[in-house]
Amino acid sequence: MRDHKGPGDGIQSDGEQTLAATELMTVAEVAAILNMSARYVRDHAREMGGIRIGGGRRRAGRLRFPLERVRQFVDRRSMQSTTL
């Protein structure tokens, strides 16, 4: 079970160790961190470095996100909102 603290706090696995910034996260995990819907995450997947894993010719594969790219997305959005 993962403990989500917030976009700047990282993610911990079973409360023991911090996962590397290259950790791939699911749509649901990113949505929980951003406090947004899964649809929002999918709509902004390209901006957050979303990659498709698996799948075949007919399936698109599962969408995953590198933690560091999600953090960058949050930082960019924070900067945009403060300049408006």
In order along the chain (84 residues), what is the average pLDDT of each group of 10 residues? Answer: 44 46 87 96 96 78 93 90 70
Q: Is the pTM of this model over 0.85?
A: no
CB atoms within 10 A of CB 24: 16
Count of all residues that appear for the chain in the document? 84
* Integer Cα distance of 37 and 34 in angstroms: 8
Q: Report the topology of domain 23-83.
A: Multidrug-efflux Transporter Regulator; Chain: A; Domain 2 (1.10.1660)
* Integer Cα distance of 11 and 13 in angstroms: 7
The HSE-up count of residue 67 (CA atoms within 13 Å, CB side) is 17
Per-residue confidence (pLDDT) for residue 33, from 0 to 100: 92
